[in-house]
Amino acid sequence: MGLFDRFRRKPRPGVLRTASNQDTSHLEKWAASRRGVEAYVEPKTTVTETTVVLVAHDGEWTRRRVASPDAARSFARKLGMPIYDAGIVGYPKRMRDYTARQKKLGNG
């Protein structure tokens, strides 16, 4: 550990950030403020931990880290939303359409 390492704001390269209570809180608030929300679990990669993507009825979406696929399923059950494995079923067309609309508007 270098002399000034403790003052760094960003994690060191190669160190994955894990899920936090802030991530879960964001997901809960986001889902509560939208309708028709579904969850899509994304597997852990060499770059990120396991994540969950929430997609609303209109295709608006958000992504946050979760502790594990089981934690994502538990989260979805708790909020009463359907959950899918993004690696198996892919993402809904409405999500891609929403992203394309945002890019055209200059928001993405």
Confidence of residue 7 (pLDDT cuts 50, 70, 90): low
- For residue range 33-89, list pLDDT tens digits in order: 999 999 999 999 888 889 999 999 999 999 999 999 999 999 999 999 999 999 999
Q: Are 40 and 86 in contact (CB under 8 A)?
A: yes
Spans of all domains in the chain? 37-105
Q: What does R_g of the chain's alpha carbons equal in angstroms?
A: 16
The amino acid present at 106, given as its one-letter code, is: G
pLDDT at 31 over 70: yes
Full-model pTM: 0.81
pLDDT recorded at residue 53:
97
Q: Are 50 and 68 in contact (CB under 8 A)?
A: yes
Q: What is the 3-state secondary structure (H, E, C) of the chain?
A: CCCCHHHCCCCCCCCCCCCCHHHHHHHHHHHHCCCCCEEEEECCCCCCCCEEEEECCCCCEEEEECCCHHHHHHHHHHHCCCEEEHHHHCCCHHHHHHHHHHHHHCCC
